[in-house]
Amino acid sequence: MAADFHFSLLENGLDFLLSSLEHLTAASAYPKTPIEKIRQAADQKRHLKYALLHLCSSIELTFKERLRQEHWTLVFKDISKASRDAYDAGDFQSVTFQEAQDRLVGICEIEFTQSQQRDLKNLRDRRNKIEHFGAVDSLPAVQVSVSKMVSFLVDFVEEAFEQKSLEEEEAPIADVRSALGNCDAVVKQRWKEIQKEVDGQYSSIDCPTCQQKALSADGGTVKCLFCNYAADSETAANEYVSNVLGLHSRYAEEKDGGEWPLTTCPDCGCNTFVTQVPGPYDTHESYCFNCGQQYQAGELETCYDCGELYAPGEEKGHHICTDCFRAKVNRDD
């Protein structure tokens, strides 16, 4: 039996976003020398055109999906003519880009800043000129505009949707998060927006999805400010070992004489402590995906008695942790 040609609104919107990212990545990866720019300007222009068009489609479809989750009649241009039969058949005139935005504000109580409203209008105007009138614009201006609105849409999906409503789209959302970190233009724009917040975190580490150093853990909450990846501490630790360190089998690693880099945290006691976080000059640092505690290379020792890692204090060089030392003293008493 042939598979149905069907996309849900959000799945369709995310697919357009992924396509936009692919075109934007191709456009922003072009060589930067003057001669190469001239030779490849046509290809870059084409990639930016589709990055812009597909991003506009993505935003419009995502807005409509948020309206649909509020109530299915809100996707009709004329709500008074909404019928379930027309909705199920997809045979109706839907809201425009601006109407969807207005209903999100007026009905769903979603707020857009003045800057976001201006950027949405600029993006929509650029799309209309390309589709209907032709456009005269600079490539850098289009690239910046698309990059800013990709960043906007990533945050909109995170903030405007209930997390439960996104569960069926986990795969395409993961694809988008991964693609974000591969697009130079988006990486540059996104870091301009999140740098201060990342700097304010206690510690940050590479995200297992987008590979950007913007992920932080605190009390079991793991969140990446770059791509909005979120997971429980154990899942995040295991995905870091797999996706960042490239290790997939504990048996294979230990069989070849290596050490599995996931163990018990000396601070919170959870099995979420990664010991092979790449540090400077080929050193290994350690990071807990539960409590966020981070140790530099050489700051931890392995207890000879219990085999666990610990941060030595006055007993440094004794190779025994405080708990084992106390237990030993109590036995001697």
Q: Can you name the residues that pair with 249 across neighbouring β-strands? A: none
Q: Are residues 156 and 84 in the same domain?
A: yes
Distance CA 214, CA 181 (A): 11
Local confidence band at 64 (pLDDT 50, 70, 90 cut-offs): very high
Task: Give the total number of structural domains in the chain.
Answer: 2
Q: Are residues 119 and 22 in the same domain?
A: yes
Each residue's pLDDT tens digit, 269-317: 899 999 999 887 788 889 999 999 889 888 888 888 787 888 887 555 6
Domain encompassing residue 108: 9-195
Q: Are residues 258 and 176 in the same domain?
A: no
Last residue of a domain, one of 164, 195, 226: 195
Each residue's pLDDT tens digit, 16-31: 999 999 999 988 776 6
Each residue's pLDDT tens digit, 247-256: 888 888 888 8
Q: Are residues 138 and 217 in the same domain?
A: no
In a domain, 21, yes or no: yes
> Does the pLDDT value for residue 230 go beyond 50?
yes
Each residue's pLDDT tens digit, 158-194: 999 998 889 889 899 999 999 999 898 899 999 999 9
In a domain, 315, yes or no: no
By residue count, the chain amounts to 333
In a domain, 100, yes or no: yes
In a domain, 49, yes or no: yes
> Does the pLDDT value for residue 259 go beyond 80?
yes
Q: Are residues 216 and 243 in the same domain?
A: yes
Look at 333 and 15; give whichever has higher pLDDT: 15
Q: How far is CA 26 from CA 30, 41, 143, 148, 236, in A?
A: 7, 12, 11, 17, 30
Q: Which residues contact 298 (CB under 8 A, 6 or more apart)?
A: 283
Q: Are residues 128 and 56 in the same domain?
A: yes
> Does the pLDDT value for residue 115 go beyond 60?
yes
Average pLDDT, the chain: 87
In a domain, 125, yes or no: yes
Q: Are residues 152 and 258 in the same domain?
A: no
Residue 218: the pLDDT is: 82
Q: Are residues 238 and 112 in the same domain?
A: no
> Does the pLDDT value for residue 4 go beyond 70?
no
Q: Are residues 219 and 188 in the same domain?
A: no
Local confidence band at 6 (pLDDT 50, 70, 90 cut-offs): low
Q: Are residues 252 and 228 in the same domain?
A: yes
- What tokens appear for 7 in the block? 């996309």
Phi-psi category of 103—alpha, beta or left, where left has phi over 0 and alpha has psi -120 to 50? alpha
Q: Are residues 43 and 180 in the same domain?
A: yes
Q: Are residues 216 and 190 in the same domain?
A: no
In a domain, 141, yes or no: yes
